[in-house]
Amino acid sequence: MPTGLDVGGTLPTFDIIGRDKDGKRILAQCKKNPSAVPMDEEFLRLATDSNSDAQYFYFSYGGTTNTSDSVRLVTRGDIENWFESNPNGRKYLDWIRS
């Protein structure tokens, strides 16, 4: 997950704010720690208390020690699997290696 921040560096609440191809909002936090970390309390509060139809993602390299049905967790293993099993993942991996 290239983010440009070192482990321990962070942005307030959201590292990624965007929209998917259908226009639905995407809000995400990224953690590059090699081991599991708890989800940020403010991020988790907003994801679970929100009335919006936004999609919440927690990109946590080493996983997390807590979960929420409101948040899609994406770990190192998920990304590696995407690289290996998805044509777009293989294409992206080739692109970042070039």
| Ranges of each domain in the chain | 16-97
Q: What is the pLDDT of residue 49?
A: 82
What mean pLDDT do residues 2-18 have? 67
Distance CA 56, CA 78 (A): 16
pLDDT of residue 2 exceeding 60, the answer is: no
Average pLDDT over residues 76-98: 95
Burial 5-19 (b: 16+ CB within 10 A, else e): eeeeeeeeebbeeee
Cα angle for residues 70, 34, 27 (degrees, 5° grid):
30
The pTM (predicted TM-score) of the whole model is 0.80
| Distance (Å, whole) CA 28 – CA 44 | 10
* Torsion angles phi and psi, residue 44, rounded to 5: -65, -40
Per-residue pLDDT reduced to its tens digit, 20-74:
999 999 999 999 999 999 998 999 999 988 677 899 999 999 999 999 999 999 9
Q: Which two tokens stand for residue 42?
A: 């403010």
